[in-house]
Chain A
Amino acid sequence: MALSVRTLDDGAWVSVADERRTGASELWRVTGVCGCPIAEFVVEGVTDVAVDGRTVAAETYGRCITCGRSTTTGPIPVGRVLEGRYEPIDRNAVRRPVGASSTV
C-alpha cells in the first residue's frame, strides 16, 4: 500500500501516513549543499516531499551553520519505506541529495 507523504503546516513537517516525522529546526549532515565537505544544515522549512523507490526525500530551505550559506536544496533523504513501514534515517547519518552526481 502506498504511504501518503506530504508537507504540513506550511513547511514545518514531513508527514508520513498522517504522522509528523521530521521537520523544521533539525540539524542534518548533508553533502553538496554548500562549499563544506559535509554541511551542518539547519532545516528551516520543507518545500516538497516525495517517495522515489524506497527513499522518502524532502526538498528544503535552510542554512549551513559552518559556513553560513543559506540555500534551497534538492530532495534530501529523510527515510525509507521498508515493507510498507516508514523508517527514518538516523539523525547522525551523512545525507546526500538525491540525484547528486556521485554515489555514496
Chain B
Amino acid sequence: MPTDVERWKSETYGNEIREHLLEFAEQGWESIPEDERDAWFERFKWWGLYHQRAGQESYFMMRIGTPNGVLEPGQLHVVADIADEYARGPAENPEFGAAYCDWTTRQSIQLHWIRLEDVPEIFERLEANGLSTQQACGDSWRNVVGCPVAGKDRHEFVDALPVAMDLHETFKGNDDHTNLPRKWKVSVTGCREGCGQGDINDLAFEPAEKDGRRGFNVRVGGGLARNEPRLARDIDVFVEPDAVEAVAGGLSALFREYGDREDRYAARSKFLVDEWGADEVRRVLQAEFVDRELETAGEDLREEYTYNAGRVGSGTDDRPAGGHDDHPADGHGDRPAGGHNDHVGVHEQADGNYYVGVNVLVGRMGVEDVRELADLAAEYGSGEVRLTQRQNVLVTDVPESELDALLAEPLLEDYSPDPNPFMRGSIACTGTEFCSLSIVETKNRQVRYARWLAENVDLPADVSEFHVHLSGCTASCAQPQIADVSLRGMKTRKDGEPVEALDIGLGGGLGADPRFAEWVEQRVPADEVPGAIATLIDRFRERREDGEGFRAFIERTESEGDLETLIEPSETSYEDPYMHNTKTTWYPYADEDGMDASPAPARADGTPLAGDD
C-alpha cells in the first residue's frame, strides 16, 4: 500500500504546490483545513518550509538553497535583511540573539520562526535577487553541493562550478524529476582535495582523467542517516563535463522508477544500491536511461584527497609572507603538497586574489554580524561569499593589497580565519531548539563545549585541526560519523533523573581511505562529555607514536583492542544548562519554558490562537 506521503505527492507535488502555499499564506494559517494539515506541511517542504517542532506550531524553518554554496554579490545583504525582518520568534536565543542565520552542512541557509503569512513577501524578495527555496527540502533534488572554491582554486583539476550550476538550473523545477521516492543529494567535486564530500551523497561526481581528458568518475548511494551510513559506490563510469547532465538525469530517473515508494525507511538510494550492487546500477542506467555509450571509470585523485582526511599539519595561511606555507617547493606540477583539510584561513586563488575563510562556530551568525560580513565582502572583495560544508563562510576575491585591512576588521575576531582548533572543528545540527526528530539540545551546547575545550585542553603542538560533530539524533545532519569525535543525542539517568546524554564515536573522516566513526561509549551524560574529550586528548598525547595523527592513532588503538580505554566521562568545571530534556519545553531558552507556556500556534502578528482543548 502506498504511504500517505506518496498519496499526497501523487495528488499535488512540485511546482504546483506554490499556488496553494501562496493562497494559504494570503488567507492565514487558520485557512489550512485541519484535516489537511499533515498533507500540506509535507508538501510545503518541497518549497523549503519545514514545520517546526511541538510547541512551535504555525512557525516554520525556511531553507534557501545556494548551489555550491555560492552567494553572489548582494545576496548576503538580502538574506540578512530577510532574517532581520521575518526570522524573529517569540523568544530569544541566549547565544545568538533574536534573529540569526544558519549556514548548513549542505552549503544552504536556514532561517527559523518564519510565519506562513510572510512567505509571499519573502519569496518575492528572494527571487528578485536570484535566490530560492525551491526543493530545499522534500523528495527531490536537494541543494547541489561541491568544493566551495570551485572555479577559484589554484590547484583545481577540473572546473566544477559550471557543472554544478548547470545541474542546479536543469533539475530545479524540472517536472520529470520533481517527485522522487526520497531526497536526492548530489555533489560535484573538481578539486584535488575532495572538498565536495561526494562519498556521503546519493550521487557524486569526482575528478578523474581518462585518456588525457579531464572529467568525473561517478559514485552512487552514499548517505549517513539512521544508523545505516554508506559510502557512495563506484559504478565504473567516467563522464566529461558536458555529459554530466545526461548521466545525472539518467540516475535520477533510475531512482525515480526503481526506488522504494512503499517504505520511506528503505527509500534512500543507498538501499537500492545495496540491493542491486554497483554493476546492476550501471547496467540498468545504460540499458534504460542514457543513450550514449557509457565509458568505464577514469583514473581518480582519491589518493591525494586531504579534505577532512585526518592528515597532520595543514595550513591556514598561504600568503606570500604568511605563517606556514602550505605549498612547499616540492609540490609537483600544479599539485598542492599540503592540501586543505577545510577552507578556514587565507588562501590564494587562481587569479592571484585571495579568499579568506572565516570560522563560524556551529554555523550560526546573528543578523547584525551577517550584515557586517556582507559589508566587508563588498568593501574588500567582489561582494561574493561562499558557504562551506563545515558551516563556515568564505569571503572571496580579495586583492592581496586589501588583505591586511580585512584581517584587521573587528568582526574577524569573533569569526576568525585562524581559530582555536576546537572552535574550528565544531559542527552542530539544529537539535531540540526547532527539530522534531531531535533528542538533545545541540548548537548552544556545542558552543559551550568548544569554548570550554579551547580554554582547558591543549592539542599536541603539531595537531592544528580536530573535528567534533554533534548531531541531535541518528539522522546525522551534522555528519557525526565523519568526525574525529562524533557526538549523537541520547538520554540516560543520572542521580535518578532522566538527562540529556550523548553517544561518543571516534576516528571518522573522509579522504583516500574514508572511515565512519566507531561508536565507543554510549549514553554519556552531556555534562561529562567535555571531561571525556579532555582525557581522550591526554591519552592521545601520551600514547601516540611520533607524528601520528588522531585518526591513525584511533585505528591503531582499535586494532589493539583498546578503544574503550580512551574514554572516561567525568564532571569538570564545565556547566551544562540544558540537561533537563529540552525537548519537553516549547523553547529550551525561554524563561517560562514549559509546553503550557507556549505561545504557539500564533496569528501572523504573533498573538496566540486559542488551542482546541
Given A11-B265, A24-B473, A44-B474, also A65-B493 (CB < 8 A): yes
CA A10 to CA B437, docked complex, whole Å: 8
Given A65-B523, A68-B522, also A18-B35 (CB < 8 A): yes
The interface residues of chain A lying within 8 Å CB-to-CB of B42 are 8
User: Which residues, 456 to 500 on B, are CB-close (under 8 Å) to A?
Assistant: 473-475, 490-493, 498
The interface residues of chain B lying within 8 Å CB-to-CB of A18 are 34-38
CA A69 to CA B265, docked complex, whole Å: 20
Q: Which residue of B lies closest to A21 (CB)?
A: B54
User: Which residues, 1 to 50 on A, are CB-close (under 8 Å) to B?
Assistant: 4, 6, 8-13, 15, 17-18, 20, 23-25, 27, 40, 42, 44-45, 47
B230 within 8 A of A: no
A96 within 8 A of B: no
The interface residues of chain A lying within 8 Å CB-to-CB of B523 are 65, 68
CB proximity of B440 to chain A, nearest CB, Å: 8
The interface residues of chain A lying within 8 Å CB-to-CB of B490 are 42, 63, 65
Contact: A4 with B438, CB < 8 Å? no
Contact: A13 with B34, CB < 8 Å? no
Interface of B is mostly: mixed
Contact: B439 with A25, CB < 8 Å? yes
B436 within 8 A of A: yes
Chain B 40-54 against A: per-residue CB contact (8 Å), 1 yes, 0 no? 011000000011011
CA A23 to CA B584, docked complex, whole Å: 11
Q: Which residue of A lies closest to B432 (CB)?
A: A25
The interface residues of chain A lying within 8 Å CB-to-CB of B283 are none
Contact: B436 with A24, CB < 8 Å? yes
Contact: A25 with B264, CB < 8 Å? no
The interface residues of chain A lying within 8 Å CB-to-CB of B501 are 65
CA A66 to CA B475, docked complex, whole Å: 23
User: Which residues, 430 to 453 on B, are CB-close (under 8 Å) to A?
Assistant: 432, 436-439
Given A68-B522, A68-B523, also A25-B35 (CB < 8 A): no
CA A59 to CA B90, docked complex, whole Å: 35
CB proximity of B407 to chain A, nearest CB, Å: 43
CB proximity of A84 to chain B, nearest CB, Å: 14
Pick the most buried of A18, A25, A44, A68: most chain B CB atoms within 10 A of its CB: A25
CB proximity of B400 to chain A, nearest CB, Å: 48
CB proximity of B42 to chain A, nearest CB, Å: 8
Pick the most buried of B438, B439, B475: most chain A CB atoms within 10 A of its CB: B439
B176 within 8 A of A: no
Contact: B492 with A45, CB < 8 Å? no
Contact: B437 with A12, CB < 8 Å? yes
The interface residues of chain A lying within 8 Å CB-to-CB of B265 are 11, 47
CA A68 to CA B51, docked complex, whole Å: 32
B242 within 8 A of A: no
CA A68 to CA B4, docked complex, whole Å: 33
CB proximity of A75 to chain B, nearest CB, Å: 16
Chain A interface size band reads 20 to 34
User: Which residues, 63 to 88 on A, are CB-close (under 8 Å) to B?
Assistant: 63, 65-66, 68, 70
Contact: B439 with A4, CB < 8 Å? no
CA A15 to CA B51, docked complex, whole Å: 14
A42 touches which one: B51, B54, B439 (CB < 8 A)?
Answer: B439
User: Which residues, 1 to 59 on B, are CB-close (under 8 Å) to A?
Assistant: 4, 34-38, 41-42, 50-51, 53-54
Contact: A10 with B473, CB < 8 Å? no
B438 touches which one: A8, A24, A68 (CB < 8 A)?
Answer: A24
User: Which residues, 51 to 76 on B, are CB-close (under 8 Å) to A?
Assistant: 51, 53-54
Contact: B54 with A20, CB < 8 Å? yes
Q: Which residue of B lies closest to A43 (CB)?
A: B439
CA A24 to CA B489, docked complex, whole Å: 12
CA A95 to CA B518, docked complex, whole Å: 33
A15 touches which one: B38, B53, B475 (CB < 8 A)?
Answer: B38
The interface residues of chain A lying within 8 Å CB-to-CB of B112 are none
B583 within 8 A of A: yes
CB proximity of A12 to chain B, nearest CB, Å: 4
B583 touches which one: A8, A17, A25, A40 (CB < 8 A)?
Answer: A25
Contact: B439 with A24, CB < 8 Å? yes
The interface residues of chain A lying within 8 Å CB-to-CB of B54 are 20, 23
The interface residues of chain B lying within 8 Å CB-to-CB of A45 are 226, 437, 473-474
CA A77 to CA B289, docked complex, whole Å: 45
The interface residues of chain A lying within 8 Å CB-to-CB of B493 are 40, 65-66
Q: Which residue of B lies closest to A17 (CB)?
A: B35
CB proximity of B498 to chain A, nearest CB, Å: 6
The interface residues of chain A lying within 8 Å CB-to-CB of B50 are 9
Contact: A65 with B491, CB < 8 Å? yes
The interface residues of chain B lying within 8 Å CB-to-CB of A63 are 490
Pick the most buried of B35, B473, B501: most chain A CB atoms within 10 A of its CB: B473
A8 touches which one: B38, B227, B475 (CB < 8 A)?
Answer: B38
The interface residues of chain A lying within 8 Å CB-to-CB of B227 are 70
Contact: A44 with B439, CB < 8 Å? yes
CB proximity of A9 to chain B, nearest CB, Å: 5
CB proximity of A91 to chain B, nearest CB, Å: 10
The interface residues of chain A lying within 8 Å CB-to-CB of B437 are 9-12, 24-25, 45
CA A65 to CA B583, docked complex, whole Å: 17
The interface residues of chain A lying within 8 Å CB-to-CB of B474 are 44-45
Contact: B473 with A44, CB < 8 Å? yes
Contact: A6 with B473, CB < 8 Å? no
CA A44 to CA B226, docked complex, whole Å: 9
CA A64 to CA B475, docked complex, whole Å: 19
The interface residues of chain A lying within 8 Å CB-to-CB of B35 are 4, 17-18
Q: Which residue of A lies closest to B267 (CB)?
A: A10
The interface residues of chain B lying within 8 Å CB-to-CB of A44 are 439, 473-474
The interface residues of chain B lying within 8 Å CB-to-CB of A40 are 493, 498
CA A56 to CA B415, docked complex, whole Å: 50
Contact: A42 with B491, CB < 8 Å? yes
Chain B 555-584 against A: per-residue CB contact (8 Å), 1 yes, 0 no? 000000000000000000000000001010
Contact: B4 with A23, CB < 8 Å? no
Contact: A25 with B36, CB < 8 Å? no
The interface residues of chain A lying within 8 Å CB-to-CB of B492 are 65
Pick the most buried of A6, A9, A17, A23: most chain B CB atoms within 10 A of its CB: A9
- List the 3 closest A-B pairs by CB distance, nearest first: A12-B436, A25-B439, A25-B583
Name 30 A/B residue pairs within 8 A (Cβ), A-sorted: A9-B50, A9-B436, A11-B264, A11-B265, A11-B437, A12-B53, A17-B34, A17-B35, A18-B34, A18-B35, A18-B37, A18-B38, A20-B54, A20-B436, A24-B437, A24-B438, A25-B432, A25-B439, A25-B473, A25-B491, A40-B498, A45-B226, A45-B437, A45-B474, A63-B490, A65-B492, A65-B493, A65-B501, A66-B493, A70-B227
